[in-house]
A and B are shown apart, each in its own frame.
Chain A
Amino acid sequence: MARKEATLHRLDRTLVWDGFKALLPISLFVTIFGIAFGVAAPQAGLDDGTIMLMSTLVFAGASQFAVLELWEPQIPLFTMMVTVFAINARHLLMGATLYPWLEPLPPAKRYGIMLVASDANWAMATQEFTRGRPGLGVLLGGGIALWCFWVLGTWLGLSVGGAIRDPASLGLDMVMGCFLLAMVVGGEKNLRMLLIWGVAAGASLLAFYYLPDNSHVVVGAIAGGLAGVIWGKRDHEH
């Protein structure tokens, strides 16, 4: 048993390559989301270089779509950073859950692997670990695959999107909204989450109408987070 545990954090070329291949089917979808981002971003007023740089350096779809929503000639830096933090805060939990297997690695490797941590490769790596198989190859190799195809998709979207004259008439102004909504609805659904979302939506709308511009995202996120703490999930909840 101890021996098996000791090998779970194994990481070599073969495992990384296997991980890369394991995430290829999902990468196809990531490419399509990338295309959607590449089509939506110029509508918000970003130039091509900025968009490619964002996908390359940030590599976090939902937060990138969210920033498009805030994109004006002037952006409040703090609001933007809090929004990005709140959307990507789930990475904190991913890192925390992966810690037992990352701990034996030297810090450079440990943090190097986390550079490409994302929803799909994290989920798959966790699955490998719970099956008693080494999962860091999936995390790193799969992450590299997701990153490559996210950047590729963005570039494809820019190439296609430039040809579109009136995006709203094709419904393309809704790419972002529908993407974010699909993420919400695809997540955990139960009465508790519905109430949390209700609090978040209500707080967001109040802030939208009565507080300064763009504060609604932060207000809604914090209100929802607090609701989650106040209405804590009990272990015996059915």
Chain B
Amino acid sequence: MNIETAGLGTLIIILAMAVVTLATRWGGVFVMSFVPIGYRVRQFIHAMSGSVLVALLAPLAVSGDNGARLALLTTAAIMLTLKKPLPAIAGGILVAALFRHLWPMLA
């Protein structure tokens, strides 16, 4: 079902997001009060929570411009070396901006 991102539709989307997120905040505690969450379920959830971000990023890296690709590369490199998200994100943005200004033909 598609929802319009205007007027009431927007409100429905946000409420749906809020309810789903709340369900994740409460769900773990709620389920545990009946039965301990099993090992395989934990593994699935753990692997899925990283995978969903990768799944979002992959098309962005493949279909984006070279500025976007360089930005992602920079963020990954800084994150691996410094392990701090803020410089990593700032570095990625800066590289995208610089690259698009200096080499607009290649971007």
Secondary structure call for the A interface: helix
Provide the bound-state CA to CA distance between A119 and B102, in Å. Answer: 38
Q: Which residues of A contact B4 (CB under 8 A)?
A: 73-74
Is the CB of A106 closer than 8 A to any CB of chain B? no
> Which of A9-17, A152-160, A213-221 binds B?
A213-221
Is the CB of A89 closer than 8 A to any CB of chain B? yes
Secondary structure call for the B interface: helix
| Contact status of A196 and B51, CB under 8 A, knowing A178-B72, A182-B75 | yes
Provide the bound-state CA to CA distance between A199 and B48, in Å. Answer: 11
Number of A-B contacts (CB under 8 A): 305
Q: Which residues of B contact A226 (CB under 8 A)?
A: 44, 47
- The answer to whether A174 touches B93 (Cβ under 8 A) is yes
B87 to chain A minimum Cβ distance, whole angstroms, is 9
Interface positions, chain A 9-29, Cβ under 8 Å from B, are 29
Interface mask (B1-34 → A, CB under 8 Å = 1, otherwise 0):
1111110001111111110111111111111110
- The answer to whether B1 touches A77 (Cβ under 8 A) is yes
Is the CB of A179 closer than 8 A to any CB of chain B? yes
Interface set of B (CB-CB < 8 Å, partner A): 1-6, 10-18, 20-33, 36-37, 40, 42-64, 67-68, 71-72, 75-76, 79-80, 83, 85-86, 88-89, 92-98, 100-101
Interface set of A (CB-CB < 8 Å, partner B): 29, 32, 36, 45-47, 50, 53-54, 57-60, 62-64, 66-67, 69, 71-78, 80-81, 83-99, 102-103, 110-111, 114-115, 117, 168-175, 177-188, 193, 196-197, 199-201, 203-205, 208, 216-229, 232-233
CB-based closest 9 A-B pairs: A228-B47, A224-B51, A220-B55, A95-B28, A225-B48, A171-B96, A171-B97, A200-B51, A178-B92
